[in-house]
Chain A
Amino acid sequence: EVQLQQSGAELGKPGTSVKLSCKVSGYNIRSTYMHWVNQRPGKGLEWIGRIDPANGNTIYAEKFKSKATLTADTSSNTAYMQLSQLKSDDTAIYFCAMDYDLLFAYWGQGTLVTVSS
């Protein structure tokens, strides 16, 4: 069974960074793409970007190019997203999602990032 386990909630101060993790079990991430999506409180879904863990190639939505950095560690089957220069507007739930037989076939449970001084 494929499962995506995300790291716990984060409380970050404005101007700092946080690094979220998404550990995959049941499937080798080298064989797929890992996506990250956010959802601000009471709002819709927003695609941040995706990484190909096999080679580290990344694609970002324009607005997240200087905000998010996606990496992956194939030895631990884990994807990461670092969010830098946190602002209150970055307060959101961040999901990782994995392509499998179809796009975004599996999702993590989400990590709540709260930005507050």
Chain B
Amino acid sequence: EIVLTQSPTTMAASPGEKVTITCRASSSVSYMHWFQQKSGTSPKPWIYDTSKLASGVPDRFSGSGSGTSYSLTISSMEAEDAATYYCLQRSSYPLTFGSGTKLEIK
């Protein structure tokens, strides 16, 4: 099983601040996928195939990485970005999620 380790676990950012969330895999994966979840709602696809934005995702978000190291970046934090973000690998079964990064607005 591929274990995904996200960091940080929680963080707070000020409006306009750049934010980077990392996801490290215990074995190499081909792509990384990211989901956003706000409290009390279902997760939403956010970034797929490492760097492609899902429909409706603002272009201040970006994704990058390869092999065992991936990241989600927000170029300029906005209040609406406060949420929990999860990475997911589908390179091998079982599919596995990272433990999540809770992002708050300062």
Q: Interface residues, chain A, CB within 8 Å of chain B? A: 35, 37, 44-47, 49-50, 59-62, 95, 97, 102-105, 107-110
Q: Tell me whether A95 and B97 are in contact (CB under 8 A).
A: no
CA distance A50 to B49 in the complex (A): 20
Q: Tell me whether B94 and A45 are in contact (CB under 8 A).
A: no
Which chain A residues border B48 with CB–CB below 8 Å? 102-103
Complex interface: stretch among B19-27, B58-66, B68-76, B85-93: B85-93
Which chain A residues border B94 with CB–CB below 8 Å? 47, 49, 59-62
CA distance A59 to B92 in the complex (A): 11
Q: Can you list 9 A-B pairs with a CB-CB distance of less than 8 A?
A: A35-B95, A37-B97, A45-B43, A47-B95, A95-B43, A103-B48, A103-B90, A107-B43, A110-B42
Which chain B residues border A59 with CB–CB below 8 Å? 93-94
Secondary structure at the A interface, as helix, strand, loop or mixed, is: strand
Known: A47-B94, A59-B94, A62-B94. A104 touches B43 (CB 8 A): yes
Q: Which residue of A lies closest to B49 (CB)?
A: A102
Q: Count chain B residues whose beta carbon lies closer than 8 angstroms to a beta carbon of A.
A: 23
The number of A-B residue pairs with CB atoms under 8 Å apart is: 56
Which chain B residues border A50 with CB–CB below 8 Å? 95
Q: B22-60 toward A: CB 8 Å interface, digit per residue (1/0)?
A: 000000000001010100001111001100001000000
Which chain A residues border B54 with CB–CB below 8 Å? 102
Question: Is B7 among interface residues, defined by CB-CB distance under 8 A?
Answer: no
Q: Tell me whether A107 and B86 are in contact (CB under 8 A).
A: no
CA distance A49 to B95 in the complex (A): 8
CA distance A44 to B84 in the complex (A): 9
Q: Tell me whether B99 and A103 are in contact (CB under 8 A).
A: no
